[in-house]
Amino acid sequence: MSETTSDVILESIDLVKHFGSSGFFGPPTVVHAVDGVSLTIRRGETFAIVGESGCGKSTLGRLLLRLIEPTQGDVLYEGRSILSLDAAEMRRLRRDLQIIFQDPFASLNPRMNVGDIISEPLWLHGLGSKSDRREQTAELLRTVGLLPAHADRYPHEFSGGQRQRIGIARALAGNPKLIIGDEPVSALDVSIQAQIVNLLEDLKERYGLTLVVVAHDLAVIRHMSDRVAVMYLGEIVELSSTDDLFENPLHPYTQALLTAIPIPNPQGRRPKPLLQGDVPSPTAPPSGCRFHTRCPHARSICKENHPVAENAGGGRMVACHFWREIQNAGSGALSAPAQSPALTKRMELYMTWRERQEQTKNSNG
Amino acid sequence: MIDNVALHARSADTTGATHSGRDALLRVENLSIRFDGAPPDVNVVDDVTLSVAKGKTLCLVGESGCGKSVTALSLMGLLPTPPARIVGGSAYFGGKDLFRMSEREKADMRGNQTAMIFQEPMTSLNPVFTVGDQIVEGILRHRKVSKSEARERALEMLRRVRIPAPEKRMQAYPHEMSGGMRQRIMIAMALANGPELLIADEPTTALDVTIQAQIISLIRQLQDESGMAMILITHDLGVVAEIADEVAVMYAGKIVEAGSVDKIFMDPQHPYTIGLMGSVPSIGRRQGKLATIRGTVPPAELMPKGCRFMPRCPFADVRCVTDPPPLAEITPGHSARCWYAPLEIHRGGVA
Ligand SMILES: Nc1ncnc2c1ncn2[C@@H]1O[C@H](COP(=O)(O)OP(=O)(O)OP(=O)(O)O)[C@@H](O)[C@H]1O
Ligand SMILES: Nc1ncnc2c1ncn2[C@@H]1O[C@H](COP(=O)(O)OP(=O)(O)OP(=O)(O)O)[C@@H](O)[C@H]1O
Ligand code: SF4
Ligand SMILES: [Mg+2]
Ligand SMILES: [Mg+2]
């Protein structure tokens, strides 16, 4: 890759994380959660990580912020290794780097009220007076579509999506430079999801915020991210700009992923090809290409040789022996059926009335 | 390898049979629930009527915080009362009154005839037991089988939800699993006893689309084999389009629109549903900022007397401020709670 170091805000070098287990019932097993991941995240971009459940996305996110220690490899923030920082330096860094956790309930302290949860990053770093903090908390609550009065309530009194928004508000509190969102909008209905996505985009434009998003909703990924990394069993198998990836997926796993996207149109129901084959275990990753046990294009070499990441042009990278031959094998799946005429007509009516309402509001106020 | 027939896509059911509630397995009528301490006349779930027939799927969609999970928990007898209170309505499951059962009867039914997949897996998995023990326990509780048979069944379920190396994973603790694995453990537990009714609250939010497609296919297969009925709560409209027979759209505690999946997607009538459809990001190239529904749900103290969607609705006028609209039938089996539906007729001319 050819980025100059000043573009790069966060970089991982050959990161590895293995989880060991005690092995009560036999020989100890090692989970290869993340295996040799190198990537660079550019300042101000939205970088998405997608991949099969259990492939190591959350683990990678935690490694990038040093919430857990890697087995091997390094993480550079602004060109400096964060693994060598002492506790005080690490605390300072925590303000710049925030995370929105995947499981909102498990990550919110049940004994703290929402106001204290959200303002925690502020008082931890001694930012603002008490009343400043209260005001800022109220503002953050409003920003994520909750109410200032919610500050006095406790996490269990909220719905799943409301709890997720509390986590988002907390991550925004210390004006971070980079946020890792682990499924940040997964529990939100599409209209609130759209508000949050728009909000994050505004923050990016205004403050140059960098976002790393782990998500399963590929339409959201397509809409909001600049680049996408596709992971399979602890490794990155494809990395590409968003439009290229969706228009011409190169890796067979990426192709399988795109064909499985559910289309929001009941008339588009049709038999879907399903990925077959046993889901391999991260405790015993397959030899050669880790995807070979399920790949429709696999040949004997795939079982033996581990494909190296190749440069596929245009800043793309792919790790497959046969990517040149199998291009386009999965594309064309993304043609969403057209909106019904009734819905189109009603959307138009909706927008017309909305504009009109806007105008009357403006002329009255 | 790719197998093209694995997922037998069923075409959308447009008969509206489940909506009538006549041969419903579950029938909920005029359900209202409130929390202690909330303003007296504002229920978090208000006058909710729905039903689902054997083998069918009803999808419940709606704004975050609108009362979907509270509705589901009340049907399972799992709502903490107090602070919650069922202040009105009834729910019948196969002829039995769910709200008049003893705790004992409820416990016997749960995890057996009815099962629930919870929105947040970590809140319902016990952190100090292995996932294998938890599934086996659930089977032994309701089935007269030996321990090893229960273990076999548990393994089989883990395989069916596509947990890799299931024998090993039986011995893992919840915190050693990824978010999506925990979710699949919940699904395996819920399906283990072959329930007649499954209530699934956002069951696939942590799953990538390939595994999601496999889980949907598995659930469908079970519905075809055993006639399992399902209430699916999800905000993923792609999943709704793929699996629903009927859809109910909720807003601020009320059902604002209900009908067959085709009607809701192809011919939505309520302004909130229309706004919702417009917020779905397209899978095609980016087309500028996402459209959103303006504003937020008002707090309970400020909930409008008339239509609860009024403050955010482009079509609202004085009548909506004062009078609550009824859930009125527009075509057989399709109803909307809006004074001005169908909108072309009442709001068509741009005056
Ligand atoms: N503390 C832990 N101890 C043992 N194994 C772990 C631990 N944390 C994660 N793992 C394992 O590491 C692998 C990767 O998990 P991770 O949570 O990173 O997956 P993920 O990609 O985020 O999946 P999902 O999309 O389901 O959230 C999984 O096999 C998981 O079981
Ligand atoms: N224990 C409680 N005490 C007070 N209010 C509560 C309690 N539990 C839930 N609520 C409120 O009830 C409303 C409905 O919550 P519910 O969990 O049913 O929403 P939901 O539709 O499932 O939303 P989501 O899509 O975000 O999960 C919310 O506004 C929530 O704040
Ligand atoms: S009743 Fe009025 S406010 Fe409510 S949705 Fe219809 S037009 Fe909008
Ligand atoms: Mg995860
Ligand atoms: Mg919920």
DSSP B298-348: PPGGG--SS-TTGGG-TT--HHHHHSPPP-EEEETTEEE--TT-SHHHHH-
**A269 falls within a domain:** no
ipTM over 0.85: no
Entry pTM:
0.88
User: In this complex, is the C-beta atom of B54 within 8 Å of any C-beta atom belonging to chain A?
Assistant: no
- Confirm whether B301 is domain-assigned: no
CATH code of the domain containing B269: 3.40.50.300
What is the residue range of A154's domain? 107-174
Kindly identify which residue of chain B lies nearest to residue A161, measuring between CA atoms. Answer: B64
Alpha-carbon B241 to chain mean position: 14
Question: How many Å lie between the alpha carbon of B196 and the closest alpha carbon of chain A?
Answer: 25
Q: Is residue B118 part of a domain?
A: no
State whether B106 and B204 are in the same domain. yes
A205-208 long-range contacts, Cβ below 8 Å, gap at least 24?
Answer: A207/A175, A208/A43, A208/A44, A208/A177
Euclidean distance between CA atoms B308 and A189, whole angstroms: 18
Task: Report pLDDT for B38.
Answer: 81
Q: Is A280 within 8 Å of B164 when comparing Cβ atoms?
A: yes
Q: What is the pLDDT of residue A328?
A: 67
pLDDT for res A364:
67
Instruction: Search chain B and give the residue with CA nearest A257.
Output: B210
Any domain includes A86: no
CB pair distance less than 8 Å for A273 and B237: no
Which of B66, B160, B235, B236 to probe by mutation at the A interface, max A CB count within 10 Å? B235
Domain co-membership, B275 together with B207? yes
Burial of B104 (0-12, 13-18, 19+ CB in 10 A): exposed
Q: Is residue B12 domain-shared with residue B106, that is, in the same domain?
A: yes
Inside any domain, residue A141: yes
Give the separation between CA A227 and CA A220, rounded to whole angstroms: 13
Task: State residue A24's pLDDT score.
Answer: 54
Ligand number nearest to the C-alpha of B48: 2
Is B6:A270 a contact under the CB 8 Å cutoff? no
Q: What amino acid occupies position B30?
A: N
CA distance A360 to chain B (A): 11
In whole angstroms, give the CA distance from residue B264 to residue B61. Answer: 11
B44 lines ligand 3 (CB under 6 A): no
Q: Which residue has the tokens 């409301």?
A: A162
Shortest CA distance to A353 belongs to which of B64, B278, B335, B304? B278
Say yes or no: B133 contacts chain A, CB-CB below 8 A: no
Residues of A in contact with B1 (CB under 8 A): 276-277, 294, 296
Residue A271 inside a domain? The answer is no
Q: Are A290 and A235 in contact (CB under 8 A)?
A: yes
Confidence of residue A124 (pLDDT cuts 50, 70, 90): confident
B52 phi/psi in degrees, rounded to 5: -140, 135
How many angstroms separate the CA of residue A183 from the nearest CA in chain B?
8
* Domain-located, residue A30: no
Query: A310 forms bridges with which residues in the sheet?
Result: A318
Contacts of A124 (CB under 8 A, 6+ apart): A91, A94
Q: Which residues on A lie below 8 Å from B348 (Cβ)?
A: 349
Same domain, B182 and B205: no
Q: How far is CA B270 from CA A50, A221, A354, B308, B313, in A?
A: 35, 28, 15, 12, 10
Number of domains in chain A: 1
Alpha-carbon distance of A239 to A313, in angstroms, equals 11
Whether residue B270 sits in one domain with residue B244: yes
Q: Tell me, using a 6 A CB cutoff, whether residue B320 lines ligand 3.
A: yes
**Residue A122 CA to its chain's centroid (Å):** 25
- The pLDDT score that the predictor gives to residue B22 is 56
Out of B206, B275, B299, closest to residue A191 by CB: B275
Q: Report yes or no: A41 and A8 within 8 Å, Cβ to Cβ.
A: yes
The answer, for B123 touching chain A at a CB cutoff of 8 Å, is yes
* Minimum distance, in Å, between the CA of residue B168 and any CA atom of chain A: 9
In the three-class reduction of DSSP (H, G, I as helix; E, B as strand; rest coil), residue A180 is classed as strand
Mark yes or no for CB contact B285/A194 under 8 Å. no
> Are B79 and B209 found together in one domain?
yes
Q: Ligand nearest B347 Cα, by number?
A: 3
Residue A344 contacts by C-beta under 8 Å, 6 or more apart in sequence? Answer: none
Which ligand is in closest contact with the Cα of A162?
2
Neighbours of ion ligand 4 (CB under 5 A): A 58, 102; B 178-179
The reply to whether B109 and B138 lie within a common domain is: no
CA dist B76 and B53 (Å) reads 17
Tokens of B211: 């595994």
Looking at the DSSP bridge assignments, the partners of residue B215 are none
Q: Are strands B84-93 and A30-42 parallel, antiparallel or unpaired?
A: unpaired
pLDDT values of chain B reduced to their tens digit, one per residue, 351 residues: 333 333 344 444 444 434 444 578 999 999 999 998 888 788 999 999 999 999 999 999 998 889 999 999 999 988 988 889 999 999 999 889 999 988 888 888 888 899 999 888 777 888 899 999 999 998 998 888 999 999 999 999 999 888 888 888 899 998 888 888 888 899 999 999 999 999 999 998 888 888 888 888 889 888 998 899 999 999 999 899 999 999 999 999 999 999 999 999 999 999 999 999 888 887 777 777 777 788 888 888 888 899 999 999 999 999 999 999 999 999 999 999 999 988 888 887 654
B35 lines ligand 2 (CB under 6 A): yes
CB B241 within 8 A of CB B62: no
Q: Is the CB of B271 under 6 A from ligand 3?
A: yes
Atom 27 of ligand 1: nearest residue by CA position:
B179
C-alpha span between B187 and B198 (Å, rounded): 10
Q: Which helix (H) or strand (E) holds A58?
A: helix A57-64
What is the DSSP track for A12-44?
EEEEEEEEE---TTSS--EEEEEEEEEEEEETT
Q: Report chain A's terminal Cα–Cα distance, integer Å.
A: 54
- Which B residues in the span 298-327 are in contact with A, Cβ-Cβ below 8 Å? 299, 314-315
Q: What residue numbers bound the domain in which B265 lies?
A: 1-113+196-295
Residue B85 lies in a domain: yes
In terms of domains, do B204 and B288 share one?
yes
Assess whether the C-beta atom of B297 lies below 6 angstroms from ligand 2: no
